[in-house]
Amino acid sequence: MTVGVALSALLAAFLAVSVGAVLLVVAYRRVLRPRLTDELLRLSGPSIVRALLPQQVMTTFLSEIYGDSDANHDVVAAVLGGEGAEPHGGDLTISIHTTVDYELRAVNHHTFELISTVSYSFKENVADHRFAIFAMCDPQLRDAITLACRLPLFESWFVSDPSLFEQMVDAMLPSVKIGISYTDLDGKHHEVMPGEVQLTDVGYHDWPEFLTFFRGPVGTMPRQNPAQYIGTLRIFECDLGELTDVDHAVGSVESLSLRSTSLGRIDDSFCFWQAPYPCYVDRISFDAAALAFDGASWQFQVVPFTFRSTIATGAWTPAEQLKELTVRSWLLPGHGVALLWKPSDDYTSGTCAL
């Protein structure tokens, strides 16, 4: 009898322990494990992301959301502002404060000057202080420059009329003025007001150093031969470190201001600014009062190609009603703002008609 009681007690204890263990396992799986997992992810997730290269993070994310595609590379480069192949985004260019001012002046019935002043303030100081200008009259090149350029600081000029390409580029070069704020190698801050720069014409044999599609395919664009673009592409470079005449070296660029004057055809009926890399644009302004020439009268419309269209004028307006536009939005490469114009109803000259 004593043995039976002992066995019953032992069995009851075993059952109690077993049931308790099962309940603990169930509680862990249903309650504790999800909470522990969430907490571990919350604590370790950002650390893991920071330890990865920006390119790895974006590529993995897009592959999960969009699926695997070679075209994802275009999105990665546009969002990041570069390849993202260096730790902590050392090869990325992102402007967190950007302003754009365009002024249009008629030269004659057919041609106008576009005076542009664009200022960038960078999220991280740019250690590479070389600056390049890509001038082209090939639309395919215009659309590929942003993805193919390996320099963090650059500007693009597009001439719509190939017959005037060389003439217009040569006329634009003397107008380039650049100002920068920077830190020297000791971390001290300095500022150089906009001034003329010495731009070097890069020979076509050296173009692969600036544009990767001359070294291999970029996205859907196969490798290109530089010799095929002689006459439709010119590359100029300068060292921003030469803007200073003091006894210290430029360590990294904090902000950059670029002013230039280009020529355009009035009967193109538009001009536009396009972001070269991710830019948070504070404002953009168009001054077209001087486009009138010898009695010409024009109406204008602002057309954004951005995430937001709130800055669109929505209607044709005279030049004096064009206002400074508050953007306050991110513009990625491929985004921009265009100014369109057409003759006013009371101006019907055949010379200036569309």
Tens digits of pLDDT across the chain (354 residues): 566 655 565 555 555 555 555 555 555 466 566 665 565 455 555 666 666 777 777 888 888 888 888 778 778 888 888 777 777 677 789 999 999 999 999 999 888 999 999 999 998 888 888 999 999 998 888 878 887 888 889 999 988 889 889 988 998 999 999 999 999 888 889 999 999 998 999 999 999 999 999 999 887 789 999 999 999 999 999 999 888 877 778 888 999 999 999 888 899 999 999 999 999 999 999 999 999 888 788 999 999 988 876 777 678 999 998 888 899 999 998 899 999 999 987 554 444 433
The encoded tokens of residue 274 equal 């396009």
pTM: 0.80
Beta-bridge partner residues of 158: 136
